[in-house]
Chain A
């Protein structure tokens, strides 16, 4: 039995923890590569000169941009931690059996890395 390609989304309703881990991995991956392409372009502006590069950086320094910066950090940290989980599952049979517990481990490590980073990144917006 082969499901329709459009049926892929139906798998989200299966309420299996590993599928959420997978969906988040895709979502964060797409987000990070999208920003990477923008970031390559904005960095290339250094070749044009200080004026253009500084103008581009000024855009990132706007307060409204800070939440996107925090979201980028969240995406990279989650993708890195869940990537380690996926690699463990691929190379070690024992990890596949405890993949749900490993996902909780990912979430705990995510909180430990992300929350302090987000605090440090967002604090200048509120404290002068």
Chain B
């Protein structure tokens, strides 16, 4: 039996009920919608600023220094942290749903869920740490 790990979805009809009474999937669904709407603005904005208005050719260490220590540094660090955290959780939850759909062996499901939670924690900590702890080097 699945202990907290989702029961396999067979791709037809509603998703299987969780074994334990929990609204986790409802909140996960709502989070995907709310973060999704915010990411439309944040991610498309990031893309427009970094790849259309600027180009990768101008992005270097000095670019990061100007962005994260200039007069608008608080705005940029907040923008980047919000984009990072929302995109990462949104994306990893998406992967969780894909795993739910395609991985049916209980052992592999446990493997993937562990990887997603441990990996997700690592990337969120690393990413936010970089955004807020950055100080320019000479």
Question: What residues make up the interface of A, taking CB atoms closer than 8 Å to B?
Answer: 1-5, 7-8, 11, 26, 29-30, 32-33, 36-37, 40-41, 43-44, 46-47, 49-50, 53-54, 57, 60-61, 65, 69, 73, 76-77, 80, 83-84, 86-87, 90-91, 113, 117, 120-121, 124
Residue pairs across A and B with Cβ atoms less than 8 A apart, 24 shown, are: A1-B12, A30-B95, A33-B92, A33-B95, A40-B88, A43-B130, A44-B130, A46-B134, A47-B130, A47-B133, A60-B56, A69-B56, A73-B51, A77-B44, A80-B43, A80-B44, A84-B36, A84-B40, A87-B33, A87-B37, A90-B33, A117-B47, A117-B48, A120-B52
How close is A73's CB to chain B, nearest CB, in angstroms? 6
Bound-complex Cα distance A57 to B54 (A): 14
Chain B residues, CB < 8 A from A61 = 56-57
Contact A33 B36 (CB under 8 A): no
Mark B87-125 against chain A: 1 for CB-CB distance below 8 A, else 0: 110011011001001101000000000000000000100
Residue B26 interfacial (CB < 8 Å)? no
How many angstroms between the C-alpha atoms of A9 and B15 in the bound complex?
18
Besides A30-B95, A50-B61, A117-B52, 8 other A-B contacts (C-beta < 8 A): A3-B12, A5-B104, A11-B11, A26-B94, A40-B84, A47-B130, A53-B61, A57-B59
Interface pair B98/A83, CB less than 8 Å apart: no
Is residue B55 contacting chain A, with contact meaning CB distance below 8 A?
yes
Is the pair B11, A8 in contact by a Cβ cutoff of 8 Å?
A: yes
Range of interface residues on chain B?
35 or more
Secondary structure call for the B interface:
helix
Asked if A7 and B11 make an inter-chain contact with CB atoms under 8 angstroms apart, the answer reads yes
**Could you say which residues of chain B place their CB within 8 Å of the CB of A69?**
51, 56
- Decide if B126 is an interface residue (CB 8 Å cutoff): yes
User: What CA separation (Å) do A8 and B11 show in the bound complex?
Assistant: 6
Instruction: Choose from B10, B39, B47, B59 the contact partner of A5 (Cβ within 8 Å).
Output: B10
Partner of B52, one of A41, A84, A121: A121
